[in-house]
Amino acid sequence: MSRLEVTVVVAVVVVASWVVATALPDWSQVAWAGGVLLLLVIALIALTARAGAMRHPGPSPFGSLLMVRNAEFARPADLERIERLAGWVAYSQHDFNQRLKPMLVQLISHRLEISRGLKLEEGEVPSPELLSARLAALIAPATEDSPSPITTADLNRALDEIEAL
C-alpha cells in the first residue's frame, strides 16, 4: 500500500467512526473503539507490506552460513572403497594378500605415475626405496613376522602415506 492509499483508508475509517458516533450517541464509545482497532489493523497490514518489500530478492547471501555442516571425520574415498570391497575391520594375512594388497599396489603405482612419472609394469611391485618403511613392509611378500591382523586403521595410515607420495 502506498502512503496515499493508507492516508485515504485512515481518513475513511475516522469519518465512518465519527458518523456512527454522531448518529448513535449511545454507541459512540464502541464506534470510536472499533475505529481505533480498525486503524491498528490497517497500520499493521501496511507495516507488514513495507517490511516485505524491503526483503532481499532470492536466496540470502548468508544462507550458507546457517547450513548445518556434517562434522564427521572425512575418510579417504580409497579407504571406503577398500572397506566396501573387504567389509571387515580386521583382515587376516591371507585375506589381505588376496584382496587388499593388489589394490594397494595398484594405488601406489598409480600415485607414483602421477607424482613422479614412474610407470610400473603389470604385476610389478614398487621398489622399497620409493616407499616409506611402513608401506614397503605392508606390500612386501608375507613372512612369519608379518603383522597380523591388519586393521582398518593400518589401511588408513597406508592410504595417507600413498596420498603423500
Give residue-wise pLDDT tens across range 70-96. 656 666 777 677 666 656 567 777 777
Instruction: Pick the closest to residue 133 from 98, 104, 161 (CA basis).
Output: 161
What pLDDT score does 88 carry? Answer: 59
Question: What pLDDT is recorded for position 104?
Answer: 80
C-beta atoms surrounding 161 within 10 Å:
17
pLDDT digits (tens, 9 = 90+) for 118-146: 776 766 667 767 777 777 777 776 665 55
End-to-end CA distance of the chain: 67
Predicted local confidence at residue 135, as pLDDT: 75
How many residues are there in the chain? 165
Instruction: Provide, rounded to the nearest whole percent, the portion of the chain with pLDDT above 70.
Output: 78
pLDDT of the residue at 143:
61
Residue 147 has pLDDT above 60, yes or no: no
As to burial, measured by CB atoms within 10 angstroms (0-12 exposed, 13-18 middle, 19+ buried), residue 158 is buried
**Given a cut of 80, is residue 24 above it in pLDDT?**
yes
Provide the pLDDT for residue 142: 63
pLDDT digits (tens, 9 = 90+) for 27-66: 888 888 888 888 888 888 888 888 888 887 777 777 777 7
pTM of the predicted model as reported, rounded to 2 decimal places: 0.43
